[in-house]
Amino acid sequence: MDWLELVWLFIGFFVANVLGYGGGPASIPLLYREVVTNYEWSTPTEFSNILALGNALPGPIATKIAAFVGYDVGGVLGTIITLIATIVPSAIALIVLLKVLQKHRQSNVVKGIGLLVQPVIAIMMLVLTWEMGQSSIESIGWIQSLIIAAIAFWAMQIQKIHPAIVIIVAFAYGGIVLPYFEVSVV
Residue range 98-122, pLDDT digits in tens: 888 778 878 888 778 778 877 888 8
At 102 the pLDDT is 78
Alpha-carbon span 140 to 158, nearest angstrom = 25
Alpha-carbon span 149 to 130, nearest angstrom = 13
Q: 3-state SS of 85-122? A: HHHHHHHHHHHHHHHHHHHCCCCHHHHHHHHHHHHHHH
Mean pLDDT of the chain: 87
Average pLDDT for 161-176: 90
Alpha-carbon span 10 to 80, nearest angstrom = 10
Checking if the pLDDT of 4 tops 60, the result is yes
